[in-house]
Amino acid sequence: MSRARPTMTWRVGDNVATRPWAGRKREYDLFKELTVGVIVVGVLVVGLAAIAGSPDDPSITLKAWATAAPADFISTATAELGGTSATAGYGAPYNSTPDVSQTIGPINLQSLSGVRIPIDTAADFVTAPLALQASPPAELTIWDAASADQRASWTSAYGAALAAADNNDPALVAAGDYGPVPALTTSLLAMAQQGALDGAIHNDGGFFNLDYTKSILFLGDGSYFVGIANAAHLTGDQWGMMNETGNYPGQSWLWLFSFWYQVPGIAGVPNTDLLVVGIMLGLTVLLALVPLIPGLRTIPRWIPVHKLIWKDYYRKR
């Protein structure tokens, strides 16, 4: 005579942990799980990382730049001295350059933040690091004593001469009145090639300084850094993103930001960055309000993907 299995009733307030298990039982092999979970999965992870992992490229440093592209380094250092680089005219939060902020109508979020990271490109990138050397170049005294107009005249003339020289080679620059600019930029190049400039630019951050804002801005003002990004297909117009090993978890989440830079009407306009930030802010608010928006919150009922994912649960209901 068969004996019917007793049925169980659940009541509100029952403690799930105290309910007797009425389902099937089977043996559990802990050693097999450890073998699969640790050894097999570990081999797969290491193997796939070696085949399809992100490149483990070395960090781009000022030393690497000065060694690989000295002419570009000299040209950029000259622009930093003359205050004509992209960083020098960027505006907030680095300086108070007027009429350069991106706006949407009267909204000027960039200027609203103020100058929170003040940067004087001539001092921060060139003269201050040179002054930290055991034997600073004597031309620093000439530069410090000159007027702003005189400095601008020297850097403008030397920058134009570099642009006119073959391959922008400082050794091929025509003679002219460049003041101490050639000596200062050459000394800075030698300092960078020795590896001393990277530490000197971050000297004000203390021993454990992890803020690389200044060196990245300096690198970004030249063409060497941008050229590396282009070669790796990492610029905005190339849809590029990289999960670099030194900055976990990387920028894989930036794909949605990068997407908007490819949309006609948004890409290429003067205030593209502000438009993209505004769009992402709006999408974030919309996502947060999904449970409160009629119609939008009922989409899961119209497209019941969750029932497919938890099909075992819904099969028993």
pLDDT tens digits along 67-83: 999 999 999 999 999 99
104: helix, strand or coil: strand
Question: pLDDT exceeding 70 applies to what percent of the chain?
Answer: 87
pLDDT in tens, 261-288: 888 888 888 888 889 989 999 999 998 9
Mean pLDDT for 5-21 is 62
d(CA 275, CA 252) in angstroms, rounded, equals 21
Would you state the structure tokens that stand for residue 31, as one six-digit string? 């050693």
Residues paired with residue 107 on neighbouring β-strands, in sequence order: 104
Q: Is 3 helix (H, G, I), strand (E, B) or coil?
A: coil
Q: Give me 18's structure tokens.
A: 């105290």
Sorted by sequence, the CB contacts under 8 Å of residue 162 that are 6+ apart come out as: 71, 74, 75, 78, 168, 170, 173
Distance of CA 184 to the CA centre of its chain: 30
Amino acid at 17: A
Number of Cβ within 10 Å of residue 96's Cβ equals 12
The pLDDT assigned to 204 comes to 63
User: How much is the pLDDT for 315?
Assistant: 79
Mean pLDDT of the chain: 86
Residue 21's region, left for phi above 0, alpha for psi from -120 to 50, else beta, is: beta
- Measured CA to CA, the distance from residue 229 to residue 216 in angstroms comes to 13
Domain residue spans of the chain: 62-231, 236-317
Q: What is the pLDDT, as a whole number, of residue 3?
A: 52
Q: What does pTM read for this prediction?
A: 0.73
